[in-house]
Chain A
Amino acid sequence: MITKNDTSSSQPVLTRNDFKLDQPVKWCAGCGDYAILSAVQNALPEIGMKKEDIVFVSGIGCSSRFPYYINTYGFHGLHGRAAAVATGIKIANPMLSVWIVTGDGDSMAIGGNHFIHILRRNIDVNILIFNNKIYGLTKGQYSPTSPKGLITKTSPDGTIEPPFIPGELAMGAQGTFFARALDTEPKQMTDIFIKAAQHDGTSVVEILQNCVIFNNKIHQEITGKDVKDDRVIYLEHGKPMIFGVEHDKGLVLRDFGLQVVRIGENGIAEKDLLVHDAFTPDIALHYLLTRMTYPEFPVATGVIRSFPCEPYDQALERQVIRSMEESRIKTLEGLINTGNVWQL
Chain B
Amino acid sequence: MGIKKRKIIELEDAVVKFAGDSGDGMQMSGAQFSDTSAFVGNDISTFPDYPSEIRAPQGTIAGVSGFQVRIGSKGIKTPGDRADVLVAMNPAALKTNLKWVKLGATIIIDSDSFDVKNYQKAGFNSDPLEDGTLDGFNVVRAPITYLNFTAVKELGLDSKTAEKTKNQFAVGILYWLFDRNLEYGEKFLDDRFKTKPVLAEANKKVLRAGYHYAETIETLESRFQIIHRGERKGKFRNITGNTAVAWGFIAASERSGRPLFLGSYPITPASEILQELAKRKQLGVKVFQAEDEIAGINSAIGASFAGNLGVTTTSGPGLALKSEALGLAVITEIPLVLVDVQRGGPSTGLPTKTEQGDLMQALYGRSGESPAVVIAASSPSDCFDYAYMACKIAIEHMTPVVLLTDGYLANGSELWNIPKIADLPPIVPPIVPDNTPDFKPYRRDPQKLNRFWAIPGQEGLRHRIGSLEKEDVTGYVSHDPLNHEKMVRLREEKVQRVANYVPELKVWGEPTGDLLAVGWGGTYGAMISAVEELQQQGKSISLAQFNYLKPLPRNTEAVLKGFRKIIICELNMGQFAMYLSALYPQFKYLRYNKIQGLPFMIEELKRKFNQVLEGKE
Give the interface of A toward B (CB within 8 A).
23, 51-53, 55-58, 60, 67-68, 71-78, 81, 83-93, 95-96, 113-114, 117, 316, 319-320, 323-324, 326-327, 329-333, 335-337, 339-344
Contact = CB atoms under 8 A, between A and B. Distances in A.
21 contacts: A55-B306, A73-B462, A75-B332, A76-B464, A76-B465, A77-B328, A78-B298, A81-B294, A81-B298, A87-B295, A88-B261, A88-B300, A88-B303, A88-B310, A89-B456, A92-B306, A93-B457, A117-B291, A326-B282, A342-B236, A343-B235
A96 B458 CA distance: 11
A68 B305 CA distance: 16
Interface string B252-287: 001000010101000000000000000011111110
Given A68-B477, A339-B237, A85 B457 contact: no
A319 B263 CA distance: 17
A51 B477 CA distance: 22
Interface string B422-448: 100000000000000000000000000
A340 B35 contact: yes
Given A60-B467, A87-B302, A344-B233, A114 B421 contact: no
8 residue pairs, one from A and one from B, having the closest CB atoms:
A76-B466, A88-B302, A327-B282, A74-B464, A88-B299, A84-B298, A85-B302, A92-B306
Contact of B303 (A53, A77, A91): A91
A85 B308 CA distance: 13
B288 A88 contact: yes
A334 B109 CA distance: 42
Contacts of A51: 462
B235 A337 contact: yes
A326 to B, nearest CB: 7
Given A324-B283, A333-B422, A343-B234, 8 more contacts: A55-B306, A73-B463, A75-B332, A77-B467, A84-B294, A87-B295, A117-B290, A331-B283
A326 B282 CA distance: 8
Contacts of B305: 75, 85, 88-89
A72 B456 CA distance: 9
B464 A67 contact: yes
B456 A73 contact: yes
Contacts of B304: 88
B35 A91 contact: no
Nearest to A333: B421
B399 interface: no
B238 interface: yes
A341 B463 CA distance: 48
Contacts of B466: 58, 67-68, 74-77
Given A91-B303, A92-B286, A73 B464 contact: yes
Contacts of A331: 254, 283, 421
Contacts of A93: 306-308, 456-457
A57 B464 CA distance: 9
A117 B295 CA distance: 10
Contact of B282 (A56, A91, A323): A323
Contacts of A327: 282
Interface in B293-323: 294-296, 298-308, 310
Chain B: number of interface residues, binned into ranges: 35 or more
Contacts of A90: 302
B250 interface: yes
Nearest to A320: B281
A114 B265 CA distance: 13
Given A96-B457, A335-B247, A344-B232, A75 B302 contact: yes
Contacts of A78: 298, 324-325, 328, 467
Given A85-B299, A326-B282, A342 B247 contact: no
B418 interface: yes
A340 B238 contact: yes
B282 A92 contact: no
A74 B296 CA distance: 20
B196 interface: no
Contacts of A326: 282
A77 B301 contact: yes
Given A76-B468, A344-B232, A85 B298 contact: yes
A57 B465 CA distance: 10
B359 interface: no
SS class, residues of chain B in contact with chain A: mixed
Contacts of B301: 77, 85, 88
B410 interface: no
B39 to A, nearest CB: 6
A117 B292 CA distance: 10
A88 B235 contact: no
A53 B284 contact: no
A100 B296 CA distance: 17
From B237, B251, B306, B310, name the one whose CB has the most chain A CB atoms within 10 angstroms. B306
Contacts of A58: 466
B420 interface: yes
A333 to B, nearest CB: 5
Nearest to B231: A344
B449 interface: no
Contacts of A85: 298-299, 301-302, 305
B166 to A, nearest CB: 25
Nearest to B308: A92
A88 B418 contact: no
A336 B247 contact: yes
A117 B294 CA distance: 13
A51 B230 CA distance: 63
B328 A88 contact: no
Given A60-B467, A78-B328, A87-B295, A92 B303 contact: yes
A73 B466 CA distance: 11
B461 interface: yes
A77 B286 CA distance: 22
A115 to B, nearest CB: 10
Given A67-B466, A81-B294, A331-B283, A87 B288 contact: yes
B306 A96 contact: yes
Interface string B465-497: 111100000001100000000000000000000
B41 interface: yes
Contacts of B261: 88, 91-92
Nearest to A72: B462
Contact of A91 (B283, B299, B477): B299
A79 to B, nearest CB: 9
Interface in B218-251: 230, 232-238, 247, 250-251
B421 A89 contact: no
Nearest to A18: B462
A234 B186 CA distance: 72
Contact of B456 (A83, A96, A339): A96
Contacts of B325: 78, 81
B458 A84 contact: no
B455 to A, nearest CB: 8
A332 B254 CA distance: 8
B284 A88 contact: no
B299 A76 contact: no
B38 interface: yes
A329 B282 contact: yes
A342 B467 contact: no
B153 to A, nearest CB: 32
From A76, A90, A339, name the one whose CB has the most chain B CB atoms within 10 angstroms. A76
Contacts of A319: 281
A127 B462 CA distance: 21
From B238, B285, B418, B466, name the one whose CB has the most chain A CB atoms within 10 angstroms. B466
Contacts of A95: 457
A194 B324 CA distance: 34
Contact of A341 (B236, B283, B296, B324): B236
A201 B282 CA distance: 25
A314 B227 CA distance: 56
Contacts of A343: 234-236
B75 interface: no
B286 A114 contact: no
B179 interface: no
